[in-house]
Chains A and B, each alone.
Chain A
């Protein structure tokens, strides 16, 4: 069977160079994302160190069931991402499309649950700056906990939305037969991005939902 020509952009010498550049580029981008989230993680850690009691108590207001479900959903979505990359590698077009679609679906489930949690928090008046009401020992310090909660999970959710958008685009391209075992770089790179967003959640979950819980 004739070799399918690989898509190589005009400025690269060959496919290998293009693939190397794409991979290095995505990893470099993820490093910037680490620094981006990192600023807020640092802020969170500093205030947690200053107000450990208030943070632990505020953590009890998190909905641990929904949080745990979301964690499972995201980990499952990372699995579907890996499976989609694998499908592309094996030239299995139908499997690729299915796993891309599953990833999008799981991402939407995550966002739906997150949106539900946010709605609960608004109802309980736990959004700082908008009728914040807190019956614990130190409302001001608890408010800082919730400020970081909304800022960090909000930024994470924004990244999820972008990720879902990217995977929708991948689905369209896959539908059009753009990917094959000779060329599936965008699937790989988007997969890296999705895994990163997942890992950020793996850090967010214990820091907000699990610390200092009383049973």
Chain B
């Protein structure tokens, strides 16, 4: 947002006008009922003020059931409208469109780390293209944080031990505040950054590293994208370094299941349940494989919890995705029940 005094945030995403419309409805009924009550109370208090000491108490009033029912039903209807409308907007906020650009985010005390699929990494600054849906997969390395971009009207907690997701489609070029919105310790109010929305051609140029170091913004570390190698390539390297291929062969079944094409598919577990192999499932299967054993396999895989960090997990997830995937349902928010 530009410096100076504002009373209302700018709308910079496709969802922002929808959220604001609902907000104005709610502000409208709040103002209406507040004014109604204020007016009635002040009016009655003045009109029925006690004169000089009267002897007679005021005449008794009967209860009016019709009135009671009216002021139960009418507010209830207005509140239910707020519910349905709100649920509708929330549902849209929770459903990223297909083929959204996927970016991985790791939050930790007290910074935001971004990994683009092609390998660009940023700290506290996120470059995204204008007019294209972007889906962020969020992970925390320590405590609960919350990823909040006011101009886009999106927010979701970043919870350690699981993935959460958020999506948006930017409609204005420019720089927008990014805040951590869940108290996370001493530098909570310093865990801020910017989302930089670029026109598509400019975004491509930025990806290629042609734009040079971005203009320094006071107080924030600048980030120059360095294509060190894509997420997938790094994941592949890690897959070898950690020895995963010993059990997870590419062509034929080894001690562990073949991973080609597993992403997005339905996996039958030893317990009889069937789950979808989404990002959360892959993450859990790496960090805590005993939680969901694939049917027909022995529980032999060691847990990698504590041996690799969240960024490395994301690289492995990207690699496994690249081994072929089935159409998976994408969802913002609580991705699935796996931890």
Contacts and interface: CB of A to CB of B under 8 A. Distances in A.
A137 interface: yes
Contacts of A138: 288, 290-291
A50 B339 CA distance: 10
B299 interface: yes
Contact of A137 (B271, B290, B305, B339): B290
A57 to B, nearest CB: 11
A140 B299 contact: no
A140 B306 CA distance: 12
A206 B310 CA distance: 39
A148 interface: no
A53 B305 CA distance: 19
Interface string B265-295: 0000001000000000000000010110000
A136 to B, nearest CB: 10
A140 B287 CA distance: 12
A52 B293 CA distance: 13
Interface residues of A, number: 9
B34 to A, nearest CB: 37
A118 interface: no
B305 to A, nearest CB: 8
A51 B338 CA distance: 12
Nearest to A52: B271
A140 B305 CA distance: 10
Residue of A52, A138, A141 with most partner-chain B CB within 10 A: A138
A137 B291 contact: no
B249 to A, nearest CB: 24
A35 B303 CA distance: 36
Contacts of A140: 288, 303, 305
Contact of B299 (A52, A137, A141): A137
Contacts of B291: 51, 138, 141
A52 B270 CA distance: 12
A4 B49 CA distance: 61
A53 B290 CA distance: 9
A141 B299 CA distance: 15
Interface string A47-59: 0001111100000
A140 B291 CA distance: 11
Interface in A36-54: 50-54
Nearest to B337: A50
A123 to B, nearest CB: 26
Contacts of B288: 138, 140
Contacts of B305: 140
Interface in B286-339: 288, 290-291, 299, 303, 305, 339
Contacts of A141: 290-291
A178 to B, nearest CB: 53
Interface of B: 271, 288, 290-291, 299, 303, 305, 339
16 contacts: A50-B339, A51-B291, A52-B271, A53-B271, A53-B290, A54-B290, A137-B290, A137-B299, A138-B288, A138-B290, A138-B291, A140-B288, A140-B303, A140-B305, A141-B290, A141-B291
Given A53-B271, A141-B290, A141-B291, 6 more contacts: A50-B339, A52-B271, A54-B290, A138-B288, A138-B290, A140-B288
